[in-house]
Amino acid sequence: MSSDRIKIVWIYPDLLSTYGDQGNTIVLERRAALRGIPTETVNLRSDEPVPADGDIYLLGGGEDRPQILAAQRLAGDGGLARAVQSGAVVFGVCAGYQLLGHEFGGEEGQPVAGLGLLDIRSGRGEQRAVGEIVGDVAGELNVPRITGFENHQGVTQLGQNARPFARVVHGIGNGDGFEGAYSGRVLGTYMHGPALVRNPGLADLLLRWAVGRDLQPLDDSWAGRLREERLSAVAAG
Ligand code: GLN
């Protein structure tokens, strides 16, 4: 990161933004600004080269065919892999999470090559996972209980070099009792919602990784109320 600003690259809004995941970009900008940290956001279309100098790369959800196209273009471009090697933060949601792995299931369930930036493999599950998801995040990440919304057919297995992001309290997630995965500063999740709007603690984790230091706390009472409301709705069934 250059000393005075965070460069956010929103990868392929023309392919990977089916579920309103743009909200994640806005949350990062806002929470950085409240700490006096300026941001620059690049909305990177899929016919443009991936800049290697981003600090945080965001990938959203998408349907099967746009997901395959996005994976092919990102693999051909190589910029995201270079950015990861230089320590950039990557946050992938659902389709964007799956395509960070070694492979994922295409529209007929066929294996499609991913980017291999996370040690995970996804395939097609028996049933679509749709609904609220709640999870307790790996302790070392220091993020409070997460809530989100999932909508995916895929199931994901973690390899030895990826750690589960959260233990599922409610919902499906990866399908193995855990939700999401991370390795270094590359983190993926099945949570839409958008995830960072509902989970400011997760937004702050990405910002902390990007700036390399702790950040001053903010008043998150509104997000806290939303979390309580969603947890009550889940508990009520
Ligand atoms: N196509 C993928 C799946 O169904 C991702 C879906 C999504 O991004 N919501 O698993």
Domain-located, residue 107: yes
- Report the chain's mean pLDDT, rounded to a whole number: 95
Compute the residue count for the chain.
237
Domain-located, residue 163: yes
Q: What is the number of domains present in the chain?
A: 1
Q: What is the pLDDT of residue 2?
A: 47
Taking the C-alpha atoms of residue 41 and residue 175, their distance in angstroms, rounded to an integer, is 33
Taking the C-alpha atoms of residue 83 and residue 33, their distance in angstroms, rounded to an integer, is 24
Domain-located, residue 123: yes
* Cβ–ligand 1 contact at 124 (below 6 Å): no
Q: Phi/psi of residue 226, each to 5°?
A: -60, -40
Domain-located, residue 134: yes
Domain around 123: 6-236
Taking the C-alpha atoms of residue 232 and residue 24, their distance in angstroms, rounded to an integer, is 24
Query: Under 8 Å CB-to-CB from 84, ≥6 apart: which residues?
Result: 90, 117, 184, 185, 186
User: What does the pLDDT look like over 82-117, one tens digit per residue?
Assistant: 999 999 999 999 999 999 999 999 999 999 999 999
Domain-located, residue 24: yes
Name the CA radius of gyration of the chain, rounded. Answer: 16
Taking the C-alpha atoms of residue 139 and residue 158, their distance in angstroms, rounded to an integer, is 18
Nearest ligand 1 atom, CA 64: 1
> Hey, which of 59, 67, 156 would you mutate to test ligand 1's pocket, going by the most ligand atoms within 8 Å of its Cβ?
67
Q: What is the pLDDT of residue 154?
A: 95
* Cβ–ligand 1 contact at 200 (below 6 Å): no
State in Å: Cα 68 to ligand 1 middle.
Answer: 11
What is the domain-level CATH number for residue 131? Answer: 3.40.50.880
State in Å: Cα 13 to ligand 1 middle.
Answer: 15
Domain-located, residue 1: no
Please check whether residue 92 is in contact with residue 125, taking contact to mean a CB–CB distance below 8 angstroms.
no
State in Å: Cα 133 to ligand 1 middle.
Answer: 15
User: What does the pLDDT look like over 110-144, one tens digit per residue?
Assistant: 999 999 999 999 999 999 999 999 999 999 999 99
- Here the ipTM equals 0.93
Question: What is the set of active-site residues?
Answer: 94, 192
**Cα dihedral: 182, 136, 32, 6 (round 10):** 0
Taking the C-alpha atoms of residue 131 and residue 184, their distance in angstroms, rounded to an integer, is 29
State in Å: Cα 104 to ligand 1 middle.
Answer: 10
Residue 227 is assigned to a ligand binding site: no
pTM reported for the whole predicted model: 0.96
Domain-located, residue 105: yes
Q: Please report where in the chains the tokens 């959800």 appear, as a residue.
A: 61
* Cβ–ligand 1 contact at 62 (below 6 Å): yes
* Cβ–ligand 1 contact at 20 (below 6 Å): no
Domain-located, residue 23: yes
